Amino acid sequence: MPQPLITLTTDFGEASPYVAAMKGVIFSFAPEVQIVDLGHQVPPQDVWHGAYFLAQAVPFFPPHALHVAVIDPGVGTQRRLLYCEAGPHRLLLPDNGLITFLADAQPLRRVVHLAEPNYWRPTPSRTFHGRDILAPVAARLALGEAPERLGPPLEPVELHRLPIAQGKATPQEIEGSIVFVDHFGNLITNLGMDLLAQAGWTPTPGSELRLSIPAAHPCRWVQTYGEAASGELVALFGSGGFVELAVVNGSAAARLNLPRGSMITLRR
Amino acid sequence: MPQPLITLTTDFGEASPYVAAMKGVIFSFAPEVQIVDLGHQVPPQDVWHGAYFLAQAVPFFPPHALHVAVIDPGVGTQRRLLYCEAGPHRLLLPDNGLITFLADAQPLRRVVHLAEPNYWRPTPSRTFHGRDILAPVAARLALGEAPERLGPPLEPVELHRLPIAQGKATPQEIEGSIVFVDHFGNLITNLGMDLLAQAGWTPTPGSELRLSIPAAHPCRWVQTYGEAASGELVALFGSGGFVELAVVNGSAAARLNLPRGSMITLRR
Amino acid sequence: MPQPLITLTTDFGEASPYVAAMKGVIFSFAPEVQIVDLGHQVPPQDVWHGAYFLAQAVPFFPPHALHVAVIDPGVGTQRRLLYCEAGPHRLLLPDNGLITFLADAQPLRRVVHLAEPNYWRPTPSRTFHGRDILAPVAARLALGEAPERLGPPLEPVELHRLPIAQGKATPQEIEGSIVFVDHFGNLITNLGMDLLAQAGWTPTPGSELRLSIPAAHPCRWVQTYGEAASGELVALFGSGGFVELAVVNGSAAARLNLPRGSMITLRR
């Protein structure tokens, strides 16, 4: 049996004591776990950002990890807290769309509504369910508690999902939207390898493209960031398998000033 | 016996190698510990911020955790380094007021002045006692060293404390100060549940209040952030049990521009 | 046998899912390791910053730790990935100069070019070798895989090094450059204790110096930050053994506006 593993993903930042309090509660109930930070810099209350983050992180973990995600602007209201099994992965998170991108790739196999207060801290606050509900439930699950004891089952279709758009591709043109802006200023789209392969959109590395946002920008198709000149705008398949826009040794986000959700078109 | 646990709280940030160096020293002396980050984004040299952070984090941990806190603008001067037992919790920190808020809630049971160089790194620097004194002492304590061997005892009353103000409450009005501004821009006051209950100040959820800072702002009393309209200024009991001001889906700190220490009055 | 230990140092930030994905891969191959964050706030693509960071962090770790560093603007190009033994320490990093400062103090004993794909994730991406090559290799090494199986040996002289300048010292004057700007705004130079001792440059604590950058600033030589008045510009030996410029309770970087690489002269 490997050491039980609990990961934490939040929008709490690290200057506030909220992540620390959750860790304390987890260790109080399960001193033998290893707690692993995935990231606490999800922008405040940005469920979309957190949902994309989880989809790009959770699938790389072994199934024995338990993932706790707290981006929870609706804390204390009627929104539900969930235990989810997505493919082989197990998560605890609010039912506010955080599961959206992950569930797209890893089908939801089981969902439980966390409704059984016996597994919570006594008299939980109305404003910090990460500490008072999710942390103690995570500790109990890590110690082997059966998920069905945490509350009633839910049908996956009952869950809240974010409205995510699909990209479009023809052999000459792909059209999609910016889904995520990463730490390097790379702009990651919803245009996946499969979609482009089906449409026969397979540009040669080094070939010239035209990016319309709608203003036109020259853009080179490459296989990796360092393949063009410093400062050049490039398009490539990123490590998640989606087209991204990047500036070599720079930031495409700063260059193009394109916020998340912006539409883009790439033409040969 | 659970795995020994050492937590770290600093103002070192993560772009500098100081936290990393402390971790290396701890593992050199005690490879079997688990090191847990509480937070390294305490604003530089902000002892007050660190003191509040510890008080909201440490009490949630099990007693076998050992907490090392380094917000230490006086490093290398005459300020003392301490081992403290606050309630069931054990800490290592400088004697500069960092213990203030925690000791308010968790009485100091034992204090030791770290004066025994045999437990330090040889020839410690004058500028980084976190690495050269606290880290090796933490490792030794985690391995079972008796605290009394680390130096002479101190009386708790000898410790440096920050001057913290008490709030005031009547059935019609509460008056206090901003103690902490959190990552979401929530403004947390020194007005606790007990104080308000004693004064009979128990507003109905949804009722209108008036905030004076001294300019007057309408403000709604709620039980949790999502109970009012987006953008509305609300007051509520936060997860630490104190009145806080918040803006739904926004930042009260940005809206009101109230720095820590500001006086506020809330009237029915 | 202590628990296997893998440290991570990157420029990935924590709002992006890249660190998390690496942790997932490591745990997938080696569930029994402890993963320790050294820092993920190295400025994007700043190899110099990362190289200095490693040199000030890695030497404090016990030899059983394995250090993975990913500041890798050349990912997917011809730059090599390396396994290095520097003194007793073991690292995995790109061959782009990241090893420079550490190798200065800890001679390279063995270097292996990571060229054996059997130890990688299948079909690695061109843009994220941290996840697809370094993480699985780290897990295998932590489990005891022999480094020579990872690829062919390299001579240490074949490695890419950053061009680092040496400082100069006379009994009256020292001249060097800013090597690192830390989280507190301290400006750390390349002027080491040994160099100054050889030149007989040993100012008395409290003595007045003149800093030329080239504009002249009065500056006091001290032993630690808190030894001068708040706001005063001081020079001292920092915790890494090099002369640094600091402002008591403030930031020398903000006061002097000196970027990394700037030349400075200190005269008695």
pLDDT by residue, tens only, chain C of 268 residues? 789 999 999 999 999 999 999 999 999 999 999 999 999 999 999 999 999 999 999 999 999 999 999 999 999 989 999 999 999 999 999 999 999 999 999 999 999 999 999 999 999 999 999 999 999 999 999 999 999 999 999 999 999 999 998 999 999 999 999 999 999 999 999 999 999 999 999 889 999 999 999 899 999 999 999 889 999 999 999 999 999 999 999 999 999 999 999 999 999 8
Task: Sort strands A242-247 and B65-70 into parallel, antiparallel or unpaired.
Answer: unpaired
Contact A3 C31 (CB under 8 A): yes
Higher pLDDT pick, B180 / A268 = B180
Q: Which residues of C touch B17 (CB under 8 A)?
A: 38-39, 52-54, 56-57
A230 vs chain B: nearest CA distance in angstroms? 25
Mean pLDDT of A239-251: 95
pLDDT of residue A223: 94
pLDDT of residue B203: 87
pLDDT of residue A175: 96
Residue type at C102 in one-letter notation: L
Q: Is the pLDDT of residue B1 over 80?
A: no
pLDDT of residue B214: 86
Q: C-side interface with A, Cβ within 8 Å?
A: 11-25, 27-28, 31-32, 34-35, 37, 44-45, 73-77, 79, 125-128, 131-132
Contact B39 A25 (CB under 8 A): no
Q: Is the pLDDT of residue A260 over 80?
A: yes
For residue B66, the cross-strand partners are: B6, B90
Q: Which two tokens stand for residue B184?
A: 């979401």
Contact A128 B62 (CB under 8 A): no
Q: Which helix (H) or strand (E) holds C212?
A: strand C208-212
Q: Is the pLDDT of residue A1 over 90?
A: no
Q: Which residues contact A90 (CB under 8 A, 6 or more apart)?
A: A63, A65, A66, A67, A83, A84, A141, A147
* Among candidate residues A198, A256, A252, A199, the one with its CA nearest the CA of residue A222: A252
pLDDT of residue C263: 95
C75 vs chain A: nearest CA distance in angstroms? 7
Tell me which residue in B57, B61, B184 faces A28 most closely, judged by beta carbons: B61
Total beta-carbon pairs less than 8 A apart between chain A and chain C: 117
Give CA–CA dist B147/B144, Å, rounded.
9
Q: Dump pLDDT digits (tens) for A62-80.
A: 999 999 999 999 998 899 9
Q: What percent of chain B has pLDDT over 70?
A: 100
Q: Dump pLDDT digits (tens) for B125-172.
A: 999 999 999 999 999 999 999 999 999 999 999 999 999 989 999 999
Average per-residue pLDDT for chain B: 96
Contact C19 A3 (CB under 8 A): no
pLDDT of residue B140: 98
Give CA–CA dist B37/B244, Å, rounded.
26
Q: Which residues of B touch C40 (CB under 8 A)?
A: 14
Q: Which two tokens stand for residue B41?
A: 């984004």
Contact B7, B141 (CB under 8 A): no
Contact A195, A169 (CB under 8 A): yes
pLDDT of residue C187: 98
Contact B143, B30 (CB under 8 A): yes
- Disruptive mutation site among B45, B52, B222, B224 for chain A (greatest number of A CBs within 10 Å): B224
Contact C183 B17 (CB under 8 A): no
Question: C79: nearest CA in chain A?
Answer: A226
* Among candidate residues A188, A148, A195, A147, the one with its CA nearest the CA of residue A169: A195
As a three-state string, the secondary structure of C38-92 is EECCCCCCCHHHHHHHHHHHHHHCCCCEEEEEECCCCCCCCCCEEEEEECCEEEE
pLDDT of residue A226: 86
**pTM (global) more than 0.90:** yes
Give CA–CA dist B127/B123, Å, rounded.
12
pLDDT of residue B2: 84
Q: Is the pLDDT of residue B180 over 90?
A: yes
Give CA–CA dist C36/C70, Å, rounded.
14
Mean pLDDT of A234-239: 96
Give CA–CA dist B225/B216, Å, rounded.
21
pLDDT of residue C168: 95
Give CA–CA dist A132/A220, Å, rounded.
50
Tell me which residue in B25, B45, B127 faces C249 most closely, judged by beta carbons: B45
Give CA–CA dist A123/B267, Å, rounded.
28
Output b/e per residue, A2-15; b: 16+ Cβ within 10 A: ebbbbbbbbbbbbb
Give CA–CA dist C132/B55, Å, rounded.
41
Q: Which residues of A touch B34 (CB under 8 A)?
A: 34
As a three-state string, the secondary structure of chain B is CCCCEEEEEECCCCCCCHHHHHHHHHHHHCCCCEEEEEECCCCCCCHHHHHHHHHHHHHHCCCCEEEEEECCCCCCCCCCEEEEEECCEEEEEECCCCCHHHHHHCCEEEEEECCCHHHCCCCCCCCCHHHHHHHHHHHHHHCCCCHHHHCCEECHHHCCCCCCCCCEECCCEEEEEEEEECCCCCEEEEEEHHHHHHHCCCCCCCCEEEEECCCEEEEEECCCHHHCCCCCEEEEECCCCEEEEEECCCCHHHHHCCCCCCEEEEEC
Q: What is the DSSP letter of A179?
A: E
Q: Which residues of A touch C76 (CB under 8 A)?
A: 223-227
- Disruptive mutation site among C10, C27, C45, C77 for chain A (greatest number of A CBs within 10 Å): C27
pLDDT of residue C202: 84
Q: What percent of chain B has pLDDT over 90?
A: 93
